[in-house]
A and B are shown apart, each in its own frame.
Chain A
Amino acid sequence: MKPMSVIVRTMTRSLYPFILLFGAYLVVHGHLTPGGGFQGGAVAASAIALAIAAFGGTKAYHEKTLALFESGGLLFFLSLGLIGMGVAFMWNFLAGSGSLFGDPVAYGSNPGYLNTAGTIPLMNIAVGLEVVGGLGAIMLAMGSYAFDEDKEVSS
């Protein structure tokens, strides 16, 4: 794909970190406000789509990096499930225990504290990484299918 004009490229360079930041905010606050893994990951993947459209697919990302994000995210998710195997698969071993995300949740309605809910924010982060990798790989593949006539995506 040919890169687009100077104005588009400059604006993309300015906007790219903000879109990623907004996606990360949606992912991390998934247990308090509407959002979570898939929603935040889809917003962050739109930043990748912007970069692919502005700079040309093969210059912006390598396919192997995105595949690594995807596999790594899911392995993190599965390992979070398997760590709690002492009681059951995907048991929430961090809730109410005082360590990483471990404050207990107060009863009734409250403004919501970020430090609660145990493994749920960690699973949101894992799913967000995986969705970024997956949707980014889809857009990279479709971009290079459509425009590079003789280049096949293979590993």
Chain B
Amino acid sequence: MIDMAPYITVAIIIGIGLYICMFKSNLIKIVMGISLIESGVNLFLITLGYRHGAYAPIFTMFNGGIMTLPTPQALTLTSIVIGVATTALLLAFVIKIYRHYGSIDAKDARRLKG
């Protein structure tokens, strides 16, 4: 049962993130929800590489035994970098929307209806 703890955490984090994206109307909260989903997917990627009783996959000072898989860690790093870029872009858009519309509520930013 303790083996399943990271996977349950991933499910809870992605669930909370999806709830925020769907039901909250403050734009900054939506950006935070996207960031939560991203963290959940990154945690899922790292958990996939774990093997029982394994050490961290660092090449120097390694003393026998088994290592965890290093490939998911490289994938997670790429995903974190992409996440930084998208969060920065989304926040820049939120700043400009505030400048033009005067509020950061998604219900007020509706000039494009129709």
- Direct contact, A vs B (beta carbon within 8 Å): yes
Binding site for B on A (CB under 8 A): 32-34, 38, 109-112, 135, 138, 141-142, 145-146
Flag if A111 contacts B60 (CB, 8 Å): yes
User: Known contacts A38-B81, A109-B63, A112-B59; can you find 15 more A-B pairs with CB under 8 A?
Assistant: A32-B60, A33-B58, A33-B60, A34-B58, A38-B80, A109-B59, A109-B60, A109-B62, A112-B60, A135-B84, A138-B88, A138-B92, A142-B95, A145-B92, A145-B95
Q: Please name all residues of chain A whose beta carbon is closer than 8 Å to the beta carbon of B91 when the two chains form the complex.
A: 142
Specify the chain B residue showing the minimal Cβ separation from A105: B59
The verdict on A111 contacting B95 (CB below 8 Å), with A38-B77, A38-B81 known, is: no
Query: How many A-B pairs fall under 8 Å by CB?
Result: 32
Give Cα A111–Cα B62 distance, bound, in whole angstroms.
9
Please report which residues of chain B, range 50-80, place their CB below 8 angstroms from some CB of chain A when the two chains form the complex.
Answer: 58-63, 77, 80
B24 interfacial contact with A, CB 8 Å = no
Flag if B96 contacts A32 (CB, 8 Å): no
Give Cα A126–Cα B63 distance, bound, in whole angstroms.
32
Give Cα A133–Cα B62 distance, bound, in whole angstroms.
35
Specify the chain B residue showing the minimal Cβ separation from A32: B60
Q: Please name all residues of chain B whose beta carbon is closer than 8 Å to the beta carbon of A142 when the two chains form the complex.
A: 88, 91-92, 95
Give Cα A145–Cα B96 distance, bound, in whole angstroms.
8
Q: Please name all residues of chain B whose beta carbon is closer than 8 Å to the beta carbon of A38 when the two chains form the complex.
A: 77, 80-81
Specify the chain B residue showing the minimal Cβ separation from A139: B88
Nearest-neighbour CB distance to chain A for B65, whole angstroms, equals 11
Q: Please name all residues of chain A whose beta carbon is closer than 8 Å to the beta carbon of B81 when the two chains form the complex.
A: 38
Give Cα A34–Cα B62 distance, bound, in whole angstroms.
14
Give Cα A145–Cα B99 distance, bound, in whole angstroms.
9
Pick from B59, B77, B88, B99: contact of A32, CB below 8 A: B59
Give Cα A142–Cα B96 distance, bound, in whole angstroms.
10
Give Cα A138–Cα B87 distance, bound, in whole angstroms.
11
Q: Please name all residues of chain A whose beta carbon is closer than 8 Å to the beta carbon of B77 when the two chains form the complex.
A: 38
Flag if A146 contacts B95 (CB, 8 Å): yes
Flag if A111 contacts B92 (CB, 8 Å): no
Specify the chain B residue showing the minimal Cβ separation from A112: B60
Nearest-neighbour CB distance to chain A for B93, whole angstroms, equals 11
Give Cα A149–Cα B99 distance, bound, in whole angstroms.
9
Give Cα A127–Cα B91 distance, bound, in whole angstroms.
24
